[in-house]
Structure 1
């Protein structure tokens, strides 16, 4: 019984360790970079120095690439969260249910054996006092 509980605990712990290790992304950093690039674009468009259109095209493509990466990483976050819920609800929940079923079966068996022991004690006591006088 302790082995099954330990295995369930380790599986849950490993799930959260995997989540911490694999769910790292650059969304916040990329959002800041998109904001900074947008400010640069506004400044370049306002100044309109020589060759500004090429710089605008370069920064625009960089911004679009960063925004696509942000969308992909946000979708990955959703996938990771859904995968965790699946593992918690299906895999670990089934193991937990099996553990609970085993626990209830063992408890009911022990309670039945105890109740039978109590009945035998009362029967034995009844037989022992059967021949005793009333007065």
Structure 2
């Protein structure tokens, strides 16, 4: 009972410092990993690794969009590059959603070599690290961002 207030609160200081320190380490590591989120996602989806840009890729992409969404309001084609090896085809449907909310549109991935639609495995990939970095995955969004 001869402990001073400072000595009796040393355990609180120790554990608070450890918890906040490990939290900061997690935030810094996931923030650094989030910089490479496209590469991590590509690594976790090996189905799209072997696609390379060919001279006929644009024609195959236009044919795929014309078959998949002929009445779309707009089309968007992202060709393969260093951070994405498959062609990404996006379009906005002709009719807006019934609930009146904003609709992001539809998208598919296409093998740039053969023109086949690629269905990569469902994974959060690098986006997990990106979200964890500023939302602390598993905690209410408002509190996590604070």
TM-score bucket (shorter structure): 0.3 to 0.5
Compare relative contact order (CA 8 Å, sep 6+) and give the higher one, 1 or 2: 1
Answer 1 or 2: which has greater helix percent.
1
Answer 1 or 2: which has greater strand percent.
2
TM-score (norm 2): 0.35
Q: Between Structure 1 and Structure 2, whose CA radius of gyration is higher?
A: 1
TM-score (norm 1): 0.37
